[in-house]
């Protein structure tokens, strides 16, 4: 079974399912697992830890499948040489999120890689198209981790209309099962990018306790804000904030963000100590609003298989749209 779209053709993949380049979670192991299953694994380049990037790309050296590498653009801009490290690994695509892609686009294209740009507004989509993006990812506020305020149902059709068929548009935010993939295909998207669903997979480089909490969380247990970022001394440019599970630490500082900023030294010392101890009552777990749809930690290949099978049955009308009671 497979769902062919302009995205699958462009990336040379079997299934229109992309792994979000989650910093420290989407390592080489998860990338390989997703790509081996017919999806497209994108390595988390994150804020730009050179050692980690070199270690993880080295693990992909003998990998013959397709894969990408993703960066947080504004952070990578501080150490642009990291892009060379990434390109040396011969990825099929580089994914840039959160910042102007234009300064990096020529090098990416020259190296023969596709440029994937994640956007949260029409203006950002225009900027990405002008920079020569080959694929746009329209990310809704439902997404776990960093993003902005517009919802998936709002931003996806808006970006699709703007792209007007020039490049494939991938939907991100709130998608964790085949219903989500089918719904996004109905909106005209060419595929989906998922983070939280793959966080709760065997191969994700996350703590077992974090994965357990994702499985236990219900809809409404996430919130978008700045508390976890500020607590670890990371200050994102507007309009980006992070969606996380609501834990004791987030509850404690909600509505007291100014006070947190004033005491950021003490708070971050506490935060890092808690993180080192694996205390997720304090340490952040990035997760999206689809968290209530996630109840297990299977191998990534099984996730891809389930989603594609369910979506295909829905799209072909072979299965009633109503979930089995």
Partner 1 sequence: MWPDRRLLDLFKLEFPIVLAPMAGAMDAELVIAAAQGGALGSLPCAMLTAEKAREQVNIIRQRVSAPVNMNFFCHKPVDADPKREAGWKQRLGAYYKEFGLDPSAPINAANRAPFDAAFCEVVEELKPEVVSFHFGLPSPDLVKRVKAAGCIVMSSATTVKEAIWLEENGADVIIAQGAEAGGHRGMFLTENIAEQPGTFALVPQVVDAVKVPVIAAGGIADGRGIAAAFALGASGVQIGTAYLRCPESKVIAPVRAALAQATDESTVITNVMTGRPARGVANRTMREVGPISPDAPAFPHAATALGPLRAAAEKLGRVDFTNLWAGQAVRMGREMPAAELTRALAGGALARMSQMAH
Q: Where does this chain bind partner 1 (CB under 8 A)?
A: 121-122, 140-142, 150-155, 157-158, 173-175, 177, 179-180, 182-188, 218-220, 222-225, 246, 288-290, 292-293, 314-317, 320-323, 325
Closest to partner 1 by CB, 71 vs 286, is 286
For residue 183 the two structure tokens come to: 């719904």
Closest to partner 1 by CB, 177 vs 305, is 177
Give the C-alpha separation, 209 to 25, whole Å: 14
Residue 303 C-beta: closest distance to partner 1, Å: 16
Closest to partner 1 by CB, 227 vs 297, is 227
Residue 9 C-beta: closest distance to partner 1, Å: 17
**210, 245 Cβ separation under 8 angstroms:** no
Only one residue has tokens 């099962």, namely: 177
Residue 288 C-beta: closest distance to partner 1, Å: 7
Residue 123 C-beta: closest distance to partner 1, Å: 9
Give the Cα-Cα-Cα angle 232, 234, 238 (nearest 5 degrees): 140
Start-to-end Cα distance in the chain: 25
194 sits in which H/E element:
strand 191-194
Residue 95 C-beta: closest distance to partner 1, Å: 22
**206, 229 Cβ separation under 8 angstroms:** no
* HSE value, Cβ hemisphere, 13 Å, CA-based, for 215: 13
Give the C-alpha separation, 325 to 323, whole Å: 6
Give the full edge-to-edge strand order of the sheet including 17-19: 17-19, 191-194, 169-172, 135-139, 114-119, 93-97, 67-72, 41-44
Residue 221 C-beta: closest distance to partner 1, Å: 8
């Amino acid at each position: 079974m497979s769902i062919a779209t302009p995205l699958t053709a462009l990336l040379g993949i079997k299934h229109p399912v992309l792994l979000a380049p989650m910093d420290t979670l989407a390592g080489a192991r998860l990338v390989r697992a997703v790509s081996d299953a017919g999806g497209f694994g994108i390595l988390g380049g994150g804020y730009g830890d050179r050692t980690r990037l070199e270690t993880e790309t080295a693990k992909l050296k003998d990998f013959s499948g397709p894969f990408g590498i993703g960066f947080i653009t504004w952070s990578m801009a501080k150490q642009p040489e990291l892009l060379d490290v990434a390109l040396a690994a011969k990825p099929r695509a580089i994914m840039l999120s959160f910042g102007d892609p234009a300064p990096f686009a020529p090098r990416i294209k020259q190296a023969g890689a596709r440029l994937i740009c994640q956007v949260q507004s029409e203006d950002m989509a225009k900027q990405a198209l002008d920079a020569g993006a080959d694929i746009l990812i329209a990310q809704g506020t439902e997404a776990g981790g960093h993003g902005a305020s517009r919802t998936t149902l709002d931003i996806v059709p808006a970006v699709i209309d703007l792209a007007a068929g020039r490049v494939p548009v991938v939907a991100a935010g709130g998608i964790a099962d085949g219903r989500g993939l089918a719904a996004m295909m109905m909106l005209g998207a060419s595929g989906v990018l998922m983070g939280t669903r793959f966080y709760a997979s065997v191969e994700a480089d996350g703590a077992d306790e974090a994965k357990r909490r994702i499985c236990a969380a219900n809809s409404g247990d996430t919130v978008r804000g700045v508390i976890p970022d500020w607590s670890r001394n990371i200050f994102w440019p507007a309009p980006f904030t992070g969606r996380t599970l609501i834990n004791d630490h987030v509850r404690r500082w909600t509505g007291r963000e100014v006070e947190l900023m004033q005491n950021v030294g003490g708070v971050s010392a506490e935060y890092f100590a808690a993180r080192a101890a694996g205390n997720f009552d304090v340490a952040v777990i990035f997760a999206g609003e689809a968290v209530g749809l996630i109840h297990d930690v299977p191998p990534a290949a099984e996730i891809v298989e389930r989603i594609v099978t369910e979506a295909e049955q829905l799209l072909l009308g072979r299965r009633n749209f109503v979930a089995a009671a």
